[in-house]
Amino acid sequence: MPLAPLQDPQLVVETAAQAFGARDGLAEHITDKHLLLLLDNFEHLVEAAADVAALLGACPHLRVMVTSREPLHVSGEQEYAVLPLVHEEGVEFFCARARAIKPDFVSDEAVPEICGRLDDLPLALELAAARVKALSPEQILERLEQRLPLLTGGARDLPERQRTLRATIEWSHELLTEAEQRLCARLAVFRGGCTLEAVEDICDADLDTLQSLVDKSLVRHNDGRYWMLETIREYATDEVLEDGEDWLNRLDRELDNLRAALDGLESARESERALRLAGALSDFWASRGYVADGRRRLESALHSDIGPTAARAKALNGAAELAAISGDPEATALQAEEALALHRRLGNPRGEAVSLQQLGYAAGEGGDWARAQKLLEESIQRFNDVGDERHALWTTRTLAWTYAESGDRDRARVIHEGNLRRARVLGIRSLEAALLSSLSWLQEEDALPLMKESIQIRRELGNRVEIATGLCGVARVITVVGRAETAARLISCFETLSEEIGGGERWVARMNEETLATIHTVLDEAAFAEAWEQGRLLTLDEAVNLALTALDEAS
């Protein structure tokens, strides 16, 4: 009996009873019959384990086979682990699936390496084999630098979560507790596995949480070491980047070493490795506010290595993002256009989605709202195709921004509200903060509490660029309620931070111009100059505290 569509653990036995045609209850229907009950996909319904145990106790000849990503932990349970295929079996399976799609498919030396890179996981192999219509094995192997974007397009008769590998892993990830998700993300730093001592010392983990991840098949344990399959580790790494985990602080402490590493690679003319490192650091530079330094490093690496590689495509996307933050949409468009062409050439739909989002944003900053909306809608579709709902939601926020800026505020508000509900379900705190800020502009009656919640989340996550932008949003809403002097101080602090960071987005500059115009109608020249000078001396923490105090006083 397939359980994947079922959401309520209390309905497991009842649903089984309906399948059997039982009228007086399942136990009464089975009694002493010799039966085997198969329950498929039990992991999200483990709270029903006690009901299954009670059923077994009442029916002496009943046997229950359960497929689950974690044990039920009931008396009499016998676990049978379903391991990845033996490597030779993986190769055979890949070839069989490839020939089902392309009958004349011929295996070559790239196929065994593909299977090894995919941990010989049947679903991953099946999704990779589906690419043989358009790609040679060697081309598939080249695109496995990032596994998850490639592995899409499963059969339509599969459950939705099994049509992409990302969605399959995400299914398991969303069933974890917050502590389990946090540890899973931290374990992703150990590419070669680690000891228990390392998990406890470096990840600040407790044994029960670690054991739970082993039980749920997300972490493997043998020969005294804990490790993840590479496909799962890649997903967990993405989660670290998305959730703003304490990787920011750790990378900050290594900033000088990272700069030295880039300098060393460039001096040794190891341009490809320098490009890969620069591209990998682009999210860090963007989040931590090292925008000018990041742009300079990326542009140098891109100039040194012009090969049409996946590393260049990723670095171009990173450079486009930093250009957008710097208020340079023209550079964003140029770099995103080149990245888009490369991603399409390399067969990376997720990379395409990122580039399309950046092009849509750049078009919006140029005032071409129709083109921006078309590009953003295409980006959202690409993200959804590869099972990346998080980035689809971020891009949907940008789409709503285009509607708001072009005059359709009601449509923008509806989109933001739906996005906010989904962001909260998925626990995407950074997106939640951004949407609360956007809604404060569209729901003026609730602007103060919305902005307060937004700035509190941003302070908690520690993204300097987002915090700085949030100060401008606070300045806008408190100016309306008579806090012009404090608003001037916040914008002044933002401008000082922007000089340090390396610029600011153009839409923020436009918002600040409108806010300052209102402020100048309230403050005379001397009062404004004094407030502006006070703002320049504020630290980021002091500015956030000032903003929250002003919001409280204005409420």
Mean pLDDT, to the nearest integer, of 155-171?
60
Supply the CATH number for residue 199's domain.
1.10.10.10
On whether the CB atoms of residues 110 and 127 are closer than 8 A, the answer is no
Same structural domain for residues 531 and 474? yes
The larger pLDDT score, comparing residue 359 to residue 273, is at 359
What pLDDT score does 150 carry? 58
DSSP state of 254: T
Please tell me the distance from the alpha carbon of residue 29 to that of residue 45, in angstroms, as a whole number.
Answer: 23
Same structural domain for residues 102 and 162? yes
What's the mean pLDDT when you consider all of the chain?
Answer: 87
Q: What is the dihedral of CA 250, 255, 260, 263, to 10 degrees?
A: 120
Assess if residue 33 is contained within a domain.
yes
Please tell me the distance from the alpha carbon of residue 133 to that of residue 217, in angstroms, as a whole number.
Answer: 32
Mean pLDDT, to the nearest integer, of 328-346?
95
Domain final position from 146, 168, 190: 168
Mean pLDDT, to the nearest integer, of 386-410?
93
pLDDT exceeds cutoff 90 at 174: no
Assess if residue 472 is contained within a domain.
yes
Same structural domain for residues 468 and 546? yes
pLDDT exceeds cutoff 80 at 143: no
On whether the CB atoms of residues 138 and 117 are closer than 8 A, the answer is no
Assess if residue 111 is contained within a domain.
yes
pTM over 0.85: no
Q: Are strands 225-227 and 220-222 parallel, antiparallel or unpaired?
A: antiparallel
Q: What angle do CA 286, 289, 292 make, to 5 degrees?
A: 85
Q: Which domain holds residue 505?
A: 463-555
Sign of the Cα pseudo-torsion (71, 72, 74, 75, in order): negative
Please tell me the distance from the alpha carbon of residue 44 to that of residue 7, in angstroms, as a whole number.
Answer: 8
Mean pLDDT, to the nearest integer, of 367-383?
96
Question: Hey, what are 295's tokens?
Answer: 């742009």
Tens digit of each residue's pLDDT (9 = 90 or more) over 525-535: 999 999 999 99
Mean pLDDT, to the nearest integer, of 194-199?
84
Same structural domain for residues 58 and 105? no
Same structural domain for residues 485 and 541? yes
Please tell me the distance from the alpha carbon of residue 299 to that of residue 278, in angstroms, as a whole number.
Answer: 9
Reported confidence tier of residue 149, pLDDT bands at 50, 70, 90: low
What pLDDT score does 122 carry? 83
What pLDDT score does 210 carry? 87
Same structural domain for residues 508 and 554? yes
Mean pLDDT, to the nearest integer, of 321-339?
95
What pLDDT score does 425 carry? 81
pLDDT exceeds cutoff 60 at 410: yes
Reported confidence tier of residue 369, pLDDT bands at 50, 70, 90: very high
Question: Hey, what are 371's tokens?
Answer: 């083109």
Assess if residue 59 is contained within a domain.
yes
Assess if residue 309 is contained within a domain.
no
Per this entry, what is the length of the chain? Answer: 555
Assess if residue 25 is contained within a domain.
yes
Least confident segment among 236-250, 298-312, 489-503: 236-250
Assess if residue 388 is contained within a domain.
no
Mean pLDDT, to the nearest integer, of 292-319?
93
Same structural domain for residues 91 and 154? yes
Reported confidence tier of residue 51, pLDDT bands at 50, 70, 90: confident
Domain count, the chain: 4
Domain final position from 110, 143, 168: 168
Choose the most confident range, by mean pLDDT, from 62-66, 272-276, 516-520: 516-520
Cβ-based neighbour number of residue 381 at 10 Å: 14
What pLDDT score does 544 carry? 95
pLDDT exceeds cutoff 80 at 318: yes
Same structural domain for residues 123 and 159? yes
Assess if residue 276 is contained within a domain.
no
Domain final position from 224, 243, 262: 243
Same structural domain for residues 92 and 35? no
Question: Hey, what are 437's tokens?
Answer: 């800020």
CA distances 306 to 231, 317, 342, Å, are 29, 14, 11
Same structural domain for residues 554 and 469? yes
Same structural domain for residues 148 and 187? no
pLDDT exceeds cutoff 60 at 240: no
Reported confidence tier of residue 155, pLDDT bands at 50, 70, 90: low
